[in-house]
Structure 1
C-alpha cells in the first residue's frame, strides 16, 4: 500500500461504474446495440483520477467492502497512484455501484447504489480526527474535494465541524436529486460549490435561465463561492464580489458521465498552480470539453 503524503483529500463515493452507451439517440423503452463497460467510478474517485492525471497526489476517504469487487476496486485505485491507506474497509457492507445508460442525446437514466457509503457515515473521516491527517486541535489545512453522496447528517456535521475549519473545501452534489443535501454549506457559508444549472435550482428552490443568475443566487443564499455550469452553453463563477461567465469550447459529445467531476478537478488544479479566476475557469472548461469529446484531458 502507498504511503506518500497526499496534497488533496477526496471524500465520498468510490465504486464501480457500469455504463451502457449507444451511438444512437435513445428514449425511454429504447433497445439498441452499444457497448457496456465496468470502470472504477464515483464522484470522489472521478475527481481523484483527474487530479492524479494533472500531477496531484489525492488520498481517498470512503468506504469499500471487503468483498471480491471491493478488493478489485482497491487494487485498481492503487495502480492509478491514488492513496488508499485512509479508506474505511467494511466487513459487512458491499462495495457500491452506479449504473447508467447514455445515448447520442446524453444521459437517459442512471441509478446510484451508494448505500454502503451512507451506512458507513462518519467512520470514513476517522483519519481526520485520530492524528493521521489531522485532529480537532490541529485540523487538516489542505484542499478537500467533497461529494454529495454522503448522508445529509454527515454533510451537516462536515459543514460546521472543527475538523474542516482550516480546509479549502470544494463541494459537488452527486446528482440533481441529491443537490439539496448541500444546503448546510449555504447555512454555514463554508466551501466552494460546484453545481450545474438544475442542481442550483434545487438548492435555491427556483428555476434559472442561465449560469450567472444561478451563481449569484447561490451567493445570496449564503454560499461563500459558487461555480455553475450549463452544459455547452455557459459556466459562471461568483465569489460575492463579482461574477465571471465563459462559454465552453464546442465539441462533439461522446460521453456525459464524469464531465462535471472533470470540470471540478481541473479547476482545483488550475487554482493550485496559481491561475487567476478567468484563467482557471477557462482551463476547467477546456478539460471538461476534451473529456466529453472522448479524449483524456491532460
Structure 2
C-alpha cells in the first residue's frame, strides 16, 4: 500500500497553554512571567519534532469542528504534517493542556483530553478501512503512540491485528497515566519511552537510576525500553543488556515537551540508520537543546 507519510502519531493533538517564569514557585505563588498558546499534545509534539528532522508524520487523533480546531489543523498543515486521517468531531471540542513552569521545573499541569477519550477507536478508522491498512493487511511502519488514550482502547490496541506488524513506539504522556500502558508491555514490537518515575509506577518499585529502571522493565517482559532521568544518565534496556549515557549539561529553561522531543529524535535517528549508541546520543542532544531553549 502506497502512503504519503513516514510514521503515524496516535494520541493527543491539542492546544498547549504554558506559563513560564524564571522564579522558583511553590503552591499559591503569584509571579510575573510569560504565557504562550502553542500547538501541543504528546502525539503532536512528537510529530512536530519528527517534521523538523525531515520526516512526514501523519496524525491520528480527534480535533473539534470548532474555531480552535480549524486553527490547529491549519497550523499542522503549515508544518507539513498529514492531517487527512484526523477525526473531526462536530460534538466534541478541541482538547487543551495547561501547565505552569518555574525555575524549579514543572509546578503543575492539567490535561483536558476528554474529547480524545470520548472519541475512542474512531481515531483509528484509517487503520481498518483500507486507507492505511486493514485487519488482513495491517500497517507495517513505525507508530508513535501516547498514553492519553483510554485504558480500554490501549488494551484493544495491544491485542488488535491492526497493530500486529507495526513498530510501536510508546510514551505514557505523564506519570499519572503510566499504568494505562500495562497491557502493551507484552506486545512483541513495543518500545517504551519513559522517565524514571514512570518506570517506577509501571514496575511498582522505586528505582534509584535509569539503568535499574530499564532492567526492571525488561524483567517485566518488555522487549525494549528507553528511560530518561532529567540531567542524570539515560538508559536503553533490552534482554541483551543495558546501555547508559549522560545528557549534555545545559541550563534548563523549559521542561514541557522534553520527553516528546527525546522520543522523536531517537525515532528519527533510527530511521536514518544510526547505531543504537548514536541514536541514544542524538536523542539526548536534541532534548538538551530543547530544554535550554535552543530549538522550538
Could you say which TM-score interval applies, normalised by the shorter chain? Answer: over 0.9
Structure 1 residue runs without a partner (length 5+): none
Q: 1:30-41, aligned counterparts within 5 Å?
A: 30-41=29-40
Runs (4+) of structure 1 exceeding 3 A deviation are 187-190
Does the CA contact (< 8 Å) of 2:18 and 2:101 recur in 1? yes
1:112 and 1:88 map into 2 onto residues whose CA distance is: 19
Residue 188 of structure 1 aligns to a residue whose secondary structure is coil
Equivalent residue, structure 1, for 2:15? 16
Maintained 8 Å contact 2:165/2:189: no
Unaligned stretches of 5+ residues in structure 2 = none
Q: Report the Cα distance in structure 1 between the residues aligned to 2:164 and 2:204, rounded to whole angstroms.
A: 28
CA distance in structure 2 between the aligned counterparts of 1:124 and 1:248, rounded to whole angstroms: 35
CA-CA distance at 1:189 after TM superposition? 4.3
Give the C-alpha shift of residue 17 in structure 1.
0.2
Question: Which shifted more, 178-187 or 259-268?
Answer: 178-187
Q: Provide, for residues 245-271 of structure 1, a one-character-per-residue CA deviation record: whole Å limited to 9, x for no partner.
A: 000000000000000000000000010
Which secondary structure state, in structure 2, belongs to the residue aligned with residue 289 of structure 1? helix
Q: TM-score, normalised by structure 2?
A: 0.98
DSSP-derived class of the 2:39 partner: strand
Q: CA shift at 1:159, angstroms? A: 1.2
Contact preservation (8 Å) 2:76, 2:83:
yes
For 1:126-145, list aligned pairs within 5 A.
126-145=125-144
Q: Which residue of 2 aligns with 1:98?
A: 97
Instruction: After TM superposition, give the deviation of residue 296 of structure 1 in Å.
Output: 1.1
Q: Does 1:175 align with 2:184?
A: no
Q: How many residues align?
A: 295
Q: Which residue number in structure 1 is paired with residue 261 of structure 2?
A: 262
Matched with 1:48 is 47
CA distance in 1, matches of 2:98, 2:140: 35
CA–CA distance in structure 2, aligned partners of residues 78 and 22 of structure 1: 31
Could you say which residue in structure 2 is the equivalent of 1:277?
A: 276
User: TM-score w.r.t. structure 1 length?
Assistant: 0.97
**Aligned residues of 2:166 and 2:189 also touching (Cα < 8 A):** no
What is the Cα-based RMSD across aligned positions, in Å? 1.1
Residues 1:84 and 2:79 aligned together: no
Matching residue of 1:195: 194
1:187 deviates by: 3.5
C-alpha displacement at 1:224, in angstroms?
Answer: 1.3
Q: 2:152 matched to which residue of 1?
A: 153
Partners of 2:3 and 2:137 lie apart in 1 by 20
Residue pairs, 1:159-238, within 5 angstroms: 159-238=158-237
